[in-house]
Amino acid sequence: MADAAAISAIGTVAFPAVHNAIVGEAFSAAVVEQTYSIDALTECISRCANANDAHFLAAYQAREIVGYLHYDSEGAEPELHRIYVKPGLKRGGIGTALMDELHARLSPGSSYILLVAEANRDAQAFYARHGLVTEGQVNGNEHYGDAMSINLEEIPPTTSGLILRYTKQH
């Protein structure tokens, strides 16, 4: 699937660039290996396409994927798992367009959570601009590992994560 290859190309660079220093290189590498392979992305995109309560959105510029968003309801409650933009294109409105599209697809009263590393202040500011509010604090690596079914040989270091919540008002 062409979308999976383009998303993999973004994710395998963007995820470690943002998270290596926060979650540790070993955990970051496990996430990339297990969630950004072509097979893993193809399966995830297909699963979201076949579910009524999931979305895997891609943003395009000049027929090229420049960003993506993964949201589903497979866990205890709906969750926005990942949103990334091609390196070099941040702050160009792509992330906002993806968030706006997701929010437009949700019914009034719908709510979801999102994990953000407490150290990632830029992401927190981005999500606050889109109506997400801090709900609590968790071990970020543990939450993400569970939510994304990451299999690890070793227990990852504890990282401080924040659970943010979005509720669509109308």
Stretches where the chain sits below pLDDT 70 are 1-2, 89, 154
**Per-residue confidence (pLDDT) for residue 1, from 0 to 100:** 58
> 78-118, pLDDT tens digit by residue?
999 999 999 886 777 999 999 999 999 999 999 999 999 89
Q: Where are the domains of the chain?
A: 2-167
pTM of the full structure: 0.88
Strand order in the sheet with 64-72: 55-61, 64-72, 79-85, 111-117, 160-167, 133-139
**CATH 3.40.630.30: does it fit domain 2-167?**
yes
Tokens at residue 143, please?
């939450």
**Per-residue confidence (pLDDT) for residue 100, from 0 to 100:** 97
**Per-residue confidence (pLDDT) for residue 6, from 0 to 100:** 93
